[in-house]
Amino acid sequence: MPFVHLPEGSRFLRPATERQAGAAAVFLDRDGVLLADVHFLRRPAQLRVLPGVPEAVRALQEHFALVVVTNQSGIARGLFGEEELLAIHAELARRLAIEGGVLDALYFCPHLPEGTVPAYRMDCECRKPKPGMLVRAACEWQLDLARSFMVGDAWRDVAAGRAAGVHSILLGSGEFQGTGAIAVAADLAQAARLILARRNGQSGLAGSVGRRG
């Protein structure tokens, strides 16, 4: 069972009557997508939001629920606890909010089969590449997976997206054919442009930006 943080500005906290059932979501990996990849980020002071992220989040939030899905095996490894992770996620949401960005939920998997903390030592259904976090979020917030997207920088993210039935965009500069991703993008800003173009019915998504005009 994945765990979840709902930040102060989350639209999921509004009464259900104000929310649209069947909303599409963009699922976001955390490290390497929103935040600079620090090995086992432990303290809010280490947190660095990547360039272009607040703008991309603002553009996406107009049309999508925004749900972070992140493997946090550092908890099972005993490197940090749930309270420290909550502080990091609150700080991430706060930094984005300063620039008008909203995160609706942050799902995290604290587990690891070979973890050292017994409470989290398990072969769970939420650790990516498994789709448990996406499926759980879709179930809890009535999200339409068929119209949703996953953005991540690792094969695990793409695999989790595929298993959940969403379109995945792989961040990086490498080859994506055969990964199951529908496109590759340099960063979240570029991924957001691809997602919004596809939503608006402009074709040409079968490749990177600019490949087919």
Among 70, 74, 76, residue whose Cα is nearest residue 115: 76
End-to-end, the C-alpha distance of the chain in Å comes to 43
Least CB distance to Zn ion at residue 125 (A):
7
Member of 6, 59, 87, 124 binding Zn ion (CB under 5 A): 124
Contact between 117 and Zn ion (CB under 5 A)?
no
Q: Which is nearer to Zn ion, 109 or 195 (CB)?
A: 109
Specify whether 37 is catalytic: no
Residue 127 lies near Zn ion (rule: CB under 5 A) = yes
Q: How far is the CB of 64 from Zn ion (least distance, A)?
A: 24
Least distance to Zn ion from the beta carbon of 76, Å?
9
97 vs 124, beta carbon nearer Zn ion: 124
Which x/- pattern over 94-113 shows residues binding Zn ion (rule: CB under 5 A)?
A: ---------------x-x--
Q: Which is nearer to Zn ion, 89 or 111 (CB)?
A: 111
Task: Name which of 157 and 187 has its Cβ closer to Zn ion.
Answer: 157
Binding mask 57-96 for Zn ion (x = CB under 5 A): ----------------------------------------
Question: Is 29 designated active site?
Answer: yes
Catalytic amino acids? 29, 31
Residues that bind Zn ion (CB under 5 A): 109, 111, 124, 126-127
